[in-house]
Amino acid sequence: MPIDGFIWLCAAILVVAFLYSSVGHAGASGYIAVMTLFGLAPEVIKPAALVLNILVACIATWQFWRGGHFSWKLFWPFAISSVPCAFLGGYLNLPTQLFRIVIGAVLLYSAAWFFIRPKPDAEPHLPTKPVSVSIGAGLGLLSGLTGVGGGIFLTPLVILMRWARTKTASAVSALFILVNSISGLTGSITSTRQIPFFALPMAAAAIAGGSVGSYLGSYRFSPLVIKRLLAVVLAIAGVKLIFT
């Protein structure tokens, strides 16, 4: 890749990391879209996106936890089933075009909902453990198959079902993304026997964007702003799943 093209790639990764981390996400779907547009080989895009995802998810998890927004009671039932399923999804290499179109359409619907009708946070109620475990398994498998951390699906679900307030949903999703990205990357490496490609400037760009975005999301942005930004993130992810 020419040096000027690589600079623009790193700049795009920085913007993606900033935007996604502000809502407790890590940006895998955005990284995949950007790396696809810049012509990186398909076989390196998914694992490279997961590596960047892990870096930004670590930062977002720390920032939202430090801000006092994390809920262990909400997190662990989702995570306990999602991690092995994310490994399975990362290990498998299935033709999933129709599946991706359906998921993309759901994300676009959620994006429209948060942008047009962003309701104020209501008093939350935790889901039952069987519901959380079942949903965690499904989201973990989706995470591994699509190469994203799973938070892109978990955050809107938690907010729409009123299982948590907006910033708590972001905090839980950040750690959910981290553990599933690690599991999915492990499954991918086990399957392909290849160490994922990424360059240090790409990692530095993701860390810089993720640090600023997660700080603003956890300390400065209101729940309404986060919902608007979440709508943008969901729209990007939905378009990416449908058209790439």
Instruction: Give the pLDDT confidence score for residue 196 in this predicted structure.
Output: 63
The whole-angstrom separation of Cα 191 and Cα 91 is 5
Instruction: Give the pLDDT confidence score for residue 63 in this predicted structure.
Output: 96
| Helix, strand, coil percent content, the chain, rounded in steps of 5 | 80, 0, 20
Give residue 218's identity as a one-letter amino acid code: S
pLDDT tens across the length of the chain (244 residues): 688 888 999 999 999 999 999 999 998 888 888 888 888 887 778 778 888 989 999 999 999 999 999 999 999 999 999 988 888 877 776 666 666 787 788 889 888 888 887 777 888 999 999 999 999 999 988 877 776 667 888 999 999 999 999 999 999 999 999 988 888 778 777 876 666 665 788 999 999 999 999 999 999 999 999 999 999 999 988 887 787 6
Domain boundaries, the chain: 3-243
The whole-angstrom separation of Cα 12 and Cα 22 is 16
Instruction: Give the pLDDT confidence score for residue 72 in this predicted structure.
Output: 96
Instruction: Give the pLDDT confidence score for residue 154 in this predicted structure.
Output: 92
- Cα–Cα distance list, 179 to 57, 84, 113, 148, 198 (Å): 9, 10, 28, 11, 20
Local structure of residue 39 (DSSP, 8 states): T
